[in-house]
């Protein structure tokens, strides 16, 4: 069977469309043969004219292209607007969250500013193993402040009037040995409540985040922690 060209296919479609057209014409315009032929010709010519104007005319395609470009520009503008709003919203949220975290982590010897020079009255160093004099738990120092750095309401609770002078003494952040079962994993305590001990290791889930090893006398700080406490 020889291949059908595009022109032949179009002619077949036109002829096939004429058959239902003739049926409807005979129903609405009578049964006169000449009249049906005339109406069929008019319908075919009108359909062909409409088809060429809609799908063959360059002007029609130009109009479609303009409409598509217009819709694309509108969608693009809306998309960019949504993107800008999303970036602004999450950027603001992240900034605020970051500020809150910075404020939170500036307490309890968690500040990331470099502790240099180290005052002579700071007796202990990051990495040293301690024992709490009163409660007896084992721990390791991961940070210190020259004086208590906590929210004011907690400061008043932790240091009653009889011990108000302690808030102006060095305070240390401690990772508490897991085996002691003390009920909490960290502590922030004044210098007078701890004493140094050697030869004992501390077990805590966060040890590797702060230290790379133990030399028998103290733990070796990770590089990021050593930058904060260069003299310890």
The number of residues in the chain equals: 232
Q: Compare 75 and 200 and report the one with higher pLDDT.
A: 200
- pLDDT at position 30 over 60: no
- The domain ranges of the chain are 44-87, 128-228
Q: Among 106, 107, 119, 164, which residue's Cα sits nearest to residue 146?
A: 119
Query: Under a CB-based contact definition with an 8 Å cutoff, are residues 127 and 140 in contact?
Result: yes
Q: What is the 3-state secondary structure (H, E, C) of the chain?
A: CCCCCHHHHHHHHHHHHHHHHHHHHHHHHCCCHHHHHHHHHHHHHHHHHHHHHHHHCHHHHHHHHHHHHHHHHHHHHHHHHHHHHHHHHHHHHHHHHHHHHHHHHCCCCCCCCCCCCCCCCCCCCCCEEEEECCCCCEEEEEEEECCCCCCHHHHHHHCCHHHHHHHHCCEEEEEECHHHCCCCCEEEEEHHHEEECCCCCCCCCCHHHHEEEECCCEEEECHHHHHHCCCC
Query: Under a CB-based contact definition with an 8 Å cutoff, are residues 108 and 156 in contact?
Result: no
The 10s digit of each residue's pLDDT in 203-222 is 999 999 999 999 999 999 99
The residue with tokens 């990331």 is 112
Task: Report phi then psi at 224, rounded to 5.
Answer: -65, -35
- pLDDT at position 201 over 90: yes
C-alpha 121 chain-centroid distance = 43
pTM score, two decimals?
0.55
Query: Under a CB-based contact definition with an 8 Å cutoff, are residues 222 and 126 in contact?
Result: no
The 10s digit of each residue's pLDDT in 127-172 is 999 999 999 999 999 999 999 998 877 766 665 665 667 889 999 9
Label residue 115 by pLDDT band (50, 70, 90).
very high
Give 53's Cβ-side CA count (13 Å radius).
6
**Whole-number Å distance between alpha carbons of 63 and 151:** 68
């Amino acid at each position: 069977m020889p291949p059908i060209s595009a022109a032949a296919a179009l002619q077949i479609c036109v002829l096939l469309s004429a058959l239902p057209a003739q049926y409807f014409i005979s129903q609405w315009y009578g049964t006169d043969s000449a009249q049906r032929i005339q109406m069929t010709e008019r319908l075919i010519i009108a359909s062909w004219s409409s088809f060429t104007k809609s799908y063959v005319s360059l002007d029609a395609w130009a109009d479609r292209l303009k409409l598509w470009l217009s819709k694309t520009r509108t969608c693009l503008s809306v998309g960019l607007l949504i993107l800008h709003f999303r970036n602004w919203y999450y950027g603001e949220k992240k900034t605020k969250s970051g500020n809150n975290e910075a404020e939170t982590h500036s307490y309890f010897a968690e500040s990331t500013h470099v502790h240099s020079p180290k005052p002579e009255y700071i007796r202990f160093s990051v990495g040293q193993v301690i024992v709490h004099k009163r409660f007896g738990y084992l721990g390791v120092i991961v940070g210190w402040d020259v004086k208590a750095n906590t929210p004011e309401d907690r400061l008043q609770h932790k240091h009653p009037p009889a011990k108000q002078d302690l808030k102006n003494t060095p305070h240390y952040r401690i990772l508490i040995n897991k085996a002691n079962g003390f009920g909490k994993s960290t502590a922030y305590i004044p210098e007078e409540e701890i004493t140094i001990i050697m030869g004992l290791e501390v077990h805590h889930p966060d040890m590797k985040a702060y230290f790379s090893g133990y030399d028998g006398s103290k733990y070796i700080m990770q590089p990021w922690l050593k930058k904060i406490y260069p003299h310890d």
